[in-house]
Amino acid sequence: QGGVSVNCGGTYYSSTQVNRAINNAKSGQYSSTGYPHTYNNYEGFDFSDYCDGPYKEYPLKTSSSGYTGGSPGADRVVYDSNDGTFCGAITHTGASGNNFVQCSY
């Protein structure tokens, strides 16, 4: 999967944590949480350096197990729903309303 670390509004996620989120999403074992779900990219972010989509999103968490339920928090990994490739990371932190801004990576 390669390794990309991201910084979402001051919260740092290692490449291991990013990959764990994608693996949790692909496993389907946490689907009762409502994630992963389709990310429509209404904001028009450019993820083409990493993938072409279609996109899904899954919460990013710093815990060792990653997101397994409860509050999803502000940060998301975006990945290619066909093959699980990392596409990018987005956060509600610093965005207005329910919008997203891109994390740095």
- CA–CA distance from 93 to each of 24, 55, 73, 105 (Å)? 23, 20, 10, 16
The domain spans of the chain are: 6-102
State the pLDDT at residue 3.
Answer: 76
pTM for the model stands at 0.95
Q: What confidence score (pLDDT) does residue 97 get?
A: 87
Six token digits for residue 93: 């932190």
Cis-peptide, bond into residue 72, ω within 30° of zero: no
Give the catalytic positions in this structure.
Answer: 37, 57, 92
CATH classification code of 6-102: 3.10.450.30
Do 51 and 91 touch, CB atoms closer than 8 A?
A: no
Question: For position 2, what pLDDT does the model report?
Answer: 60
Q: For the chain, how long is the longest CA-to-CA vector? A: 33
Looking up tokens 């066909």 gives 82
Q: Is 26 left (phi over 0), alpha (psi -120 to 50) or beta?
A: alpha
Residues in the chain predicted with pLDDT less than 70, given as ranges, are 1-2
